[in-house]
């Protein structure tokens, strides 16, 4: 019998879920059927920052898992709350795609005229964009990638910022005007990575799904998400984090930026890959000592 893979119904979600399904079948021979599920984040018209961000795209999938209506689920890892659900286990984190943010439009960010309108639904992106170009007008937007890109082609906006990985999965990466290197804009913790989740009481399924796991990606995102958790920040907060695992050492960089782009705390650390979570927690503690908590508080108000 084929496994039931729960996924959001958006083109982005079904595309990345199908890629995971195909890879699992290739590695194990098990067939997989996609089961489309509508989440609260999909139907709400509110901005993500107003929804609180955390879990709005995954809670319904998790409830279907717990009820045994699906066998496993695929999420964008950056949408997954950092607080574990004891009913479930993160069985695999496949090899990460491009973690960077990207600008879609006719011109690079540096070439946009002052006052140009750039769309993004992410406070993290807005805060870091304001560090780069405080003279632009940043417009909050919702909707799938097609909807957002359509605001550029219609002339409503001069550009939109999206995750490079998502654009590549949709084969829309030829519309990217420029990529933001991680020294310019740190991605959301876990950006570009997928999370494969199933029930904790299914050891045989966990073993099967673990064939999809990439150890280096897991180490990196564990460190990034540890920063987010220690800062007690949700996925809509202005927190960027990115870690690189060379097989022995983990290099982790994180930032918290005030929403107006006027102040930022940015720190880096290195350590053994075996201490990924501790590295993230220690880096967050250093950032809090240097005022990151106050910047987070300003965002909350």
Catalytic residue among 8, 100, 148, 218: 148
**Distances from the Cα of 218 to the Cα of 66, 121, 130, 243, 296, angstroms:** 24, 26, 31, 10, 26
To the query of whether residue 142 is one of the catalytic residues in this protein, the response is: yes
Cα–Cα distance for residue pair 194/93, rounded to 1 Å: 6
Instruction: List the one residue out of 82, 90, 93 whose CA is nearest residue 219.
Output: 93
Catalytic residue among 8, 124, 130, 267: 124
Phi/psi for 65 (5° steps) reads -65, -50
- Find out whether 127 and 167 touch, Cβ atoms under 8 Å: no
To the query of whether residue 62 is one of the catalytic residues in this protein, the response is: no
Catalytic residue among 79, 98, 101, 158: 79
Catalytic residue among 142, 216, 266, 281: 142
Residues sharing a CB contact under 8 Å with residue 69, sequence separation 6 or more, in sequence order: 4, 6, 35
Residue 96 gets which letter from DSSP?
P
To the query of whether residue 107 is one of the catalytic residues in this protein, the response is: no
Catalytic residue among 98, 130, 235, 267: 235
To the query of whether residue 171 is one of the catalytic residues in this protein, the response is: no
Count helices and strands (H / E) in the chain: 11, 13
Catalytic residue among 8, 62, 71, 78: 78
Catalytic residue among 8, 62, 96, 125: 125
Cα–Cα distance for residue pair 157/149, rounded to 1 Å: 9
To the query of whether residue 125 is one of the catalytic residues in this protein, the response is: yes
**Distances from the Cα of 27 to the Cα of 18, 23, 70, 146, 217, angstroms:** 14, 6, 20, 32, 19
Active site residue ranges: 78-79, 124-125, 142, 148, 235
């Amino acid at each position: 019998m084929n496994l039931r893979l729960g996924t959001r119904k958006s083109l982005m979600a079904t595309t990345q879920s199908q890629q995971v399904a195909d890879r699992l079948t290739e590695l194990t021979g098990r067939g997989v059927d996609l089961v489309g599920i509508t989440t609260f984040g999909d139907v709400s018209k509110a901005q993500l920052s107003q929804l609180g961000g955390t879990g709005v795209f995954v809670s319904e999938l998790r409830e279907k898992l717990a009820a045994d209506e699906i066998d496993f689920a695929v999420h964008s890892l950056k949408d997954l709350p950092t607080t574990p659900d004891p009913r479930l286990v993160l069985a695999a984190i496949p090899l990460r795609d491009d973690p960077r943010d990207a600008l879609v439009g006719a011109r690079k960010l540096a070439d946009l005229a002052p006052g140009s309108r750039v769309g993004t639904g992410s406070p993290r992106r807005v805060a870091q964009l304001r560090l780069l170009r405080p003279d632009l007008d940043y417009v909050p937007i919702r909707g799938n990638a097609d909807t957002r890109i359509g605001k550029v082609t219609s002339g409503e906006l001069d550009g939109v910022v999206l995750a490079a990985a998502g654009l590549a999965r949709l084969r829309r990466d030829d519309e990217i005007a420029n990529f933001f290197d991680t020294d310019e804009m740190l991605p959301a913790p876990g950006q570009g990575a997928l999370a494969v989740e199933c029930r904790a009481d299914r050891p045989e399924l966990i073993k099967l799904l673990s064939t999809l796991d990439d150890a280096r990606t897991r180490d990196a995102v564990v460190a990034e998400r540890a920063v987010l958790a220690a800062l007690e920040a949700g996925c809509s907060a202005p927190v960027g984090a990115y870690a690189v695992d060379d097989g022995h050492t983990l290099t982790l960089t994180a930032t918290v930026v005030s929403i107006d782009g006027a102040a930022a705390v940015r720190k880096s650390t290195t350590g053994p890959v075996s201490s990924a979570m501790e590295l993230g927690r220690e880096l967050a503690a250093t950032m809090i000592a240097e005022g990151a908590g106050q910047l987070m508080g300003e965002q909350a108000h």
